[in-house]
Chain A
């Protein structure tokens, strides 16, 4: 059995365990037979109407952010890049909040108006950040990109604050949502986000070999026969679709896209043919577990899940930064 097969088995097993823990643990313990035996209607309702949608949504959001992070890092050859550090999540938030703020609803998009605007915000920010970073420093050093991400993130953050200040009654709702949460979401949210997760991940997966080539630089990728311009565009769009849809249903949840690809790479190597799929699975597992911790650690009070991911993510960020600088590879 080769390393890749083992990686898939381990990741799948982790995901199954995470899902099981996510649905079973809580103020009410759910026994395993509830899955097939619905005689206990209370347990069955908790499982299927409350916990399962929440766990699946957490999984989809975690998976989206992680695979997007893996792709951004590969594309930019920058281990610190993820939707959050690049400011893309903030862009998606602004798109989403604007939709709520102005009460936008485009008839043909219907319920998809929010995620579509969120994605548009993400994509726009992504191109602006990369364009500006390139303007500052043609070689696009690690720090340049992250700094640009911070600049744009801060700016967009203040735009958000402004919009919140101008809102009245919806203030609380938006703030809770901004901190990142997957609680109180119904199956509708899953249906809203699922097509975009599938499309975005598929776009990235189509570029798995191109990402491998781009690890050696855009010039090298070009020499190996990669249509760099087109592939780069595809990857940025794929990543924006994933980030936008994730933010649309759960707000800004930071560092998942940073931590998961990093850990996955450490364990299983940086071959994108496997890294993307494995990051997807592990991202789902991580956010399901984080959400579980968020709602149980100081129960009955619930923490926003973004607090937990930042708590884990920021030190990992610091560690990667330290390692890269010491290595002097950048």
Chain B
């Protein structure tokens, strides 16, 4: 699969991979487990993530997937996609399409993702541009809640315990699921584009501020005890906003979130497409059809409350092996092998 990315396209893709599905809900886990200092924990976690990006940037050339590692990653992304689709389906059923059988709504979503997957790479690469205005509208309407914020909710600072800090930081990483896509996409960035240093810092600051602001905003809006009862705090904030022309503003925002999430799902599928295209001489299309069949059927088994809660609680544990440990192993292995080759030559 041949495609080239500009710096802006590359960062835009990463932005939509990291945001999207989780944006309406990840705050609950961070605040619930982290306590009053959750926003600081998120800040610290994001510093760690910057270091991880720094490591990725330095070593992305050595991140080459072999036959086994490729399938391990495809499986991981499939698990993430299925989890996200289950959560999307659950949210849609709870908020807006109570009467539609999940099979049909999921079928519609998967058919759209299949259409994108069968389109040329530039379609997936550029699709985010169309979502940008919607994200802005989303943010503007969240800002309507500013007058209801209680800034004293985060005080006193420094009350969280060490276990709370560990858990809060652990759940903060939910905001960075998919960060390993950096390694998949980086090789396709135009050679003369500057990524190192300032650009990467600005990108990470944008993501961190965007996600961090939602954490602190939720803390300002809800009392600490309330947050346990509210699984999708951002949607609840939107639901409580009143404007004269529309009664249920939240309905529009769920659809904006749906479009945004569809893009996230497609970017994960794009990672799979890139991985599949490394098989020389093989047409990846049949495999893409199989993969779409899987993501069509599998989420149907995980759309109950219990399963969705399980996903929300445990999906983040996959972050460590697939975003940190495995990339490090692959990079170190390839670095060593390359240096051995150089010496033998």
Partners in one complex: no
